[in-house]
Structure 1
Amino acid sequence: MTVVDRYKHGSFCWAELGSPEPAVTTRFYSGLFDLGIHHGKGYTILTRRGRDVVAIHRMRADEVERGEVPQWVPFVNVDAIDRAVARVEPRGGQVIVPPREVYDSGRMAVLTDPSGARLALWQAVHHAGAGLIDEPSTMCWWELNTRDADEAGVFYSDVIGWRRAERAVESTRYTDFFVGERKVGGMLQMTEAWGSMPSHWMTYFRVEDCDESAALAARLGGAIVVAPSDIPPVGRFAVVSDPHGGIFSIVAYGQAGRGPTP
């Protein structure tokens, strides 16, 4: 269990999901992760033991009309959001939402990296972000799946200041992102096996039992995108979608040895 009241620069601190039907989406995630529900200003906050975990909000009408699929957008805490955003476009990214106030909670901006993956930046004032991470039913890992790991790695190092360390993973490359000596996220080089899927950030939620949670997601109206399988030595993971197609991953640390689910 990790209780958090303040995040350091470069740490993932929050995630939000836009939905065409927030009530339906809220029921799905609340049921899947046994989370409480708090209706705030423009957002529905999912909670655990009285602490904020993630947020759900209504998609804009134009997003729905364009047929955009809901996607989890992770937030990274930064000390100086204007300085970070000023580096985005010169490094090949795009600023989707320039820095703006979010009530008295803090300031946010939304960007895409050179390959199109969407990420938000957050400079906290009265809301640090998730009050719990890295325990069952909360976020535990954030991973960039990208078409160009070299370009993306340079981009995030320049914009956020992450240090990178690369290692081989099966038939591709994996990069760990660090703040100082602390690992904060990862990056996977996508291969032809990914088909036409665009670059994207994946948010992982921790669970006690991967297979049971994946099955529950399907019963609640979601779908299993990648069946539960082992990722030694981490544990067991699956990729799941909610009723409107929002993609996320679940992982049970230390749970392994079953092999892939048929």
Structure 2
Amino acid sequence: MPHFEIHVADVDAAKAFYSGLFGWSFTPMPGGEEIGYHLIEGEKIGAGNALTAGLMARTGPAPDAGSGVRGGTMTFDVSDCDASYNWALSNGGAEALPPQDYPGIGRCAYIEDGQGNIVGMIAPTKEGN
């Protein structure tokens, strides 16, 4: 089963950020208390448990803000790319790539999450538009 993890310096701040941005909820993983590991749940993770995710305390220093992509980039569907992007900027995120239209794909943007990670969002093109 595919799984991704988000490594953060401030678990509580990251939980608030991703809860607001994507509507995720977080459950401490049994046995993961020592490393600050939380299982992520929410519609934007994957239907039918096709994808699982975790949030955990970073084990080293965070990458410098504004540096290039630092690992895998996660991109999630949103209903309104511009609204989600603006929410992120108003809630501790920073611009990585502003919203842009990609014909036949959708409207996409990337933000920094305030924890040294870059995350993408896409409002997919509707069929027939």
Q: Distance in 1 between matches of 2:71 and 2:107?
A: 21
CA gap of 1:16–1:198, structure 2 versus 1, over 3 A, is closer
Identify the residue that residue 182 of structure 1 maps to in structure 2. none
Output one character per residue of 1:177-200: Cα deviation in whole Å (capped at 9) or x when no partner: xxxxxxxxxxxxxxxxxxx84674
- Where 2:73 maps in the other structure, the secondary structure is strand
Provide the aligned C-alpha RMSD in A: 2.5
Identify the residue that residue 47 of structure 1 maps to in structure 2. 41
Q: Which runs of 5+ in 1 are unaligned?
A: 1-6, 8-12, 71-195, 256-262
Identify the residue that residue 104 of structure 2 maps to in structure 1. 233
Q: Distance in 2 between matches of 1:235 and 1:222?
A: 22
Where does 1:1-262 land on structure 2 (aligned, <5 Å)?
Answer: 7=1, 13-40=2-29, 41-42=31-32, 43-48=37-42, 53-60=52-59, 63-64=60-61, 68-69=62-63, 197=68, 200-254=71-125
Aligned residues: 114
Q: Distance in 1 between matches of 2:70 and 2:91?
A: 27
Q: Which runs of 5+ in 2 are unaligned?
A: 44-48
- Is residue 108–residue 123 contact of structure 2 (8 Å, CA) maintained in 1? yes
Q: Distance in 2 between matches of 1:35 and 1:216?
A: 15
Which is richer in strand? 1
Larger Rg: 1
4+ aligned runs moved over 3 Å, structure 1: 196-200
Percent of residue pairs bearing the same amino acid type: 27
- Is residue 30–residue 46 contact of structure 1 (8 Å, CA) maintained in 2? no
**Amino acid paired to 1:216:** W
Which structure is higher in RCO with an 8 Å CA cutoff and minimum separation 6?
2
